[in-house]
Amino acid sequence: MDGLLEAIDLECVRGERRLFAHVGFRLGAGELLYLQGGNGTGKTTLLRMLCGLSTPMAGEVRWRGAPIRGQADDYRRELCYLGHPNAIKEDLTPLENLLATARLVGETLDEDAAIDALEQLGLAGRADLACRYLSQGQKRRVALARLVGERRLLWLLDEPFVALDVAAVEFVAGLIGAHLQRGGLAVLTTHQAVPIAAGATHELVLGDLSTGGSATT
Amino acid sequence: MIAFVRAIVARDLRLAMRRRSDVVSALFFFIIVVSLFPLGVGPQPELLRTLAPGVLWVAALLATMLSLPRLFADDLRDGTLEQLLLAPQPLGLTVIGKVVAHWLVCGLPLALLAPVLGLQFDLPADGLKTLTLSLLIGTPALSGIGAIGAALTLGVRGSGVLLSLLVLPLYIPVLIFGAGAVDAVATGMASDAHLSLLGALALGGVFFAPWPTAAALRIALE
């Protein structure tokens, strides 16, 4: 299996503490990687390294065989990152948020498609309400509505299921599953065990420095 | 590329409209600070006319400072800044869009208010005209240079004071040429040279300052 996304010997140091070292994995088309580990083991940091927001202390991340540092713009065009904060504006409505985010990351999204995406996530009738009035779970749904029409190859999702109810978790897991079926790649951090239909599922457990935390299937 | 910048400007303007209090408070600050001087100095038209350019320009600098900390802080807090960094376009373009939006909601209204406030200082008609013109040309530089400071102090505790210490010294050339233009007219000379230099600073502020700002943002999010 050739790896589209490859992490080689990544190391992260925060202050005086080494969070992880010698972390490496390969991920090919249609494959899913679960990042696991307790709080503060560096899951989010690793995800940020994968999308190029943070620079690893050592090692490198490769995309299509080349380091992501050198192909930043092209790499970002194939990447969809959903961080722990929802990246939605409290003063805008879910619809405006969705359209604005799409435009900012360089996607074309028309209004009907956006309304449809919001409806699929159970936000029908909330599309014109400022996000400030939504509950935590509903805000998360607004952020996740982006994934409905998302056709980029690599999804990096930080705790996508947090604050969601059972039905929404199932729906989002379905979205990720469909993405993998299409040959996409996904890396997600989660504390919940959510079954996702994937060609191959890898797990990477952070926080155990002795094993080096390399990927196991 | 233009469409991308326009999308950023449109988004920031819409956010500013939803949160009018932020915009209005900077403008009221400007109005009140400027209005305090005639009250404090007393009815001495000659002295007020001399003070006017400096007072109006310094008040404009301070009002701009007031609105700068929020330039990136809200985006950082809700995570949209990360998304902006991951947009396929160069980050500098994003910053240009944000600087333009900042000028539209801060610099432009300041410039448009200035002639009304200038009346309190008994400025003659051509003085008022030059004052407005100098603010129109100079305020984009304030937004652009200020963005560097805002990015450098992003996420730092007590960033407001630090931001002033960083940015106000950089505003000195803008202040000198801006107030100088109005002074020149008052003494019967042409203000062209001052305004041209202000224009150069403004172009630098809008088109060159965004790149160091972008670098500072990347460091802030590291």
Domain boundaries, chain A: 1-78+153-217, 89-151
pLDDT, average across residues B56-61: 96
Do residues B46 and B186 lie in contact, with contact meaning Cβ atoms separated by under 8 Å?
A: no
Chain B residues with at least one Cβ partner in A under 8 Å = 4, 7-8, 11, 14-15, 18-19, 77-80, 82-90, 94, 221-222
Sheet of A17-27: strands edge to edge? Answer: A17-27, A5-14, A58-63, A66-67
Burial B49-70 (b: 16+ CB within 10 A, else e): beebbbbbbbbbbbbbbbbbbe
Partners of B86 on chain A (C-beta within 8 Å) are: 51-53, 76, 79, 81, 105
A70 touches chain B (CB under 8 A): no
Mean residue pLDDT across chain A: 86
Confidence at A216, pLDDT banded by 50, 70, 90: very low
3-class SS at B194? helix
pLDDT at site B22: 86
pLDDT at site B10: 93
H or E stretch covering B128: helix B125-152
**Using one digit for the tens of pLDDT, what is the confidence trace for A15-32?**
888 888 888 899 988 899
CATH superfamily of A1-78+153-217: P-loop containing nucleotide triphosphate hydrolases (3.40.50.300)
pLDDT at site A204: 85
Do residues B204 and B141 lie in contact, with contact meaning Cβ atoms separated by under 8 Å?
A: yes
pLDDT at site A111: 86
For chain B, give the percent of residues with pLDDT over 70. Answer: 100
Q: Which of residues 136-195 of A touch B (CB under 8 A)?
A: none
pLDDT at site B118: 93
H or E stretch covering B182: helix B172-186
pLDDT, average across residues B84-113: 94
Partners of B18 on chain A (C-beta within 8 Å) are: 91-92, 130
- Tell me how far apart the alpha carbons of residues A137 and A117 are, in angstroms, rounded to a whole number: 16
Q: Higher pLDDT residue, A108 or B146?
A: B146
pLDDT at site A208: 59
Q: Inform me whether the pLDDT recorded for A56 exceeds 50.
A: yes
The verdict on a CB contact (< 8 Å) between B82 and A85 is yes
pLDDT, average across residues A117-144: 89
The verdict on a CB contact (< 8 Å) between B82 and A89 is no
**Using one digit for the tens of pLDDT, what is the confidence trace for B132-144?**
999 999 999 999 9
pTM of the model: 0.91
Q: Inform me whether the pLDDT recorded for A209 exceeds 80.
A: no
The verdict on a CB contact (< 8 Å) between B82 and A83 is yes
Q: Inform me whether the pLDDT recorded for A104 exceeds 80.
A: yes
Partners of B84 on chain A (C-beta within 8 Å) are: 104
Through-space distance between the first and last CA atoms of chain B, rounded to whole angstroms: 26
**Using one digit for the tens of pLDDT, what is the confidence trace for A170-206?**
999 999 999 999 999 999 998 877 777 777 888 888 8
**Using one digit for the tens of pLDDT, what is the confidence trace for B167-195?**
999 999 999 999 999 999 988 888 899 99
pLDDT at site A210: 44
pLDDT at site B219: 92
Q: Inform me whether the pLDDT recorded for A213 exceeds 60.
A: no
Q: Inform me whether the pLDDT recorded for A217 exceeds 50.
A: no
Range from A19-28, A62-71, A97-106, B190-199 that averages highest in pLDDT: B190-199
Q: Inform me whether the pLDDT recorded for B156 exceeds 90.
A: no
Count other Cβ atoms within 10 Å, centred on residue A185: 25
pLDDT at site A212: 46
pLDDT at site B157: 85
A91 touches chain B (CB under 8 A): yes
Query: Alpha carbon of B96 to those of A53, A74, B89, B102, B144: distances in Å?
Result: 20, 21, 12, 10, 8
Q: Inform me whether the pLDDT recorded for B129 exceeds 50.
A: yes
pLDDT, average across residues A140-146: 91
Q: Higher pLDDT residue, A70 or B18?
A: B18
pLDDT, average across residues A84-90: 90
pLDDT, average across residues B55-80: 93
Partners of B82 on chain A (C-beta within 8 Å) are: 53, 81, 83, 85, 87
